[in-house]
Amino acid sequence: MKVYDGSQTDGTQDSEPERVKVGIAEYRTTTDSAVLTTSGLGSCIGVGIHDELSGAAGLVHVMLPTADEVEGGNRAKFADTGVAELVEALEEAGASRETMRAKIAGGSDMLDFSENGSSIGSRNVEQVRETLAEYDIPIVGEDVGGDHGRSLRLESATGDLVVKSANTESTTL
C-alpha cells in the first residue's frame, strides 16, 4: 500500500500508470501510459484502438448497434457512431487511421429479447466490424459472443487488451 508522507521523490520509483474508467456509453482517449478500463460488458461491446506510431489509444463501451434505432442521445452509446467518435478523437490526438489497430470484446447473448432471431450482442459485433471496416481499421484481436460478462483493461503503452471473463481466465489480445 502506498502512503503519502509529504516527501518529494526524484521520479525514479516505480509508479503505476493512471487508471481511467470508461463507463457505459462513454469513450476515453489517452496519449500517455494510462490504463483504460471498463466493466459490465454483456451484450455491449468494448472497442480498444491503439496507434503504436503516435502512442494514442482509446476505448469505447457501446450498448446498441446503430444510432438510427433510437432518437437523439449520446453518440458513444451506439456501435456505429461510438466507433466513429473514438476514431475522430484519436485522430485529434495525433493518431492515423493507417496505423490504428482495433481489438474488440463483448457481444454476449446474455438476455435475448429480439424478435428477429438476431440478438443485440451479435448485432453489436456485426456493426462494430462493419464500422471499423469503413474506416479501414483492422481488428487484430477479439473475444466476442458466448453467454458471459466481461471486463476490459486497455494498456495504452502496449495496446494490449486484457479481457477478464466471468467463467474463464484472463486473456490478453
Grade residue 12 by pLDDT with cuts at 50, 70 and 90: very low
41, 158, 170 from 148: Cα distances, Å: 9, 26, 13
Q: Decide: residue 11, CB within 10 A, 0-12 exposed, 13-18 middle, 19+ buried.
A: exposed
With a CB cutoff of 8 Å and minimum separation 6, the contacts of 87 are 49, 97, 100, 135, 137
Is pLDDT of 48 > 60? yes
Please give the helix or strand (H or E) that residue 129 lies within, else none.
helix 120-134
Grade residue 79 by pLDDT with cuts at 50, 70 and 90: very high
pLDDT of residue 166: 76
Order of all β-strands in the sheet with 19-21: 19-21, 35-41, 150-155, 160-165, 171-172
Which has the minimum average pLDDT: 63-67, 86-90, 112-116, 155-159? 112-116
Residues 159-164: contacts with CB under 8 Å, at least 24 apart:
159/48, 159/50, 159/52, 159/57, 159/101, 159/103, 161/46, 161/48, 161/103, 161/105, 163/105
Question: Domains of the chain by range and CATH?
Answer: 19-172 (3.30.1330.200)
Listing DSSP states for 37-106 in one string gives: EEEEESSSEEEEEEETTTTEEEEEEE-BS-GGGSSS--GGGBHHHHHHHHHHHHHHTT--TTTEEEEEEE
Q: What are phi and psi of 42, to 5 degrees?
A: -110, -95
pLDDT of residue 7: 42
pTM of the model: 0.86
pLDDT of residue 70: 64
Q: What are phi and psi of 167, to 5 degrees?
A: -120, 10
Grade residue 83 by pLDDT with cuts at 50, 70 and 90: very high
pLDDT of residue 169: 82
Q: What is the mean pLDDT of the chain?
A: 88
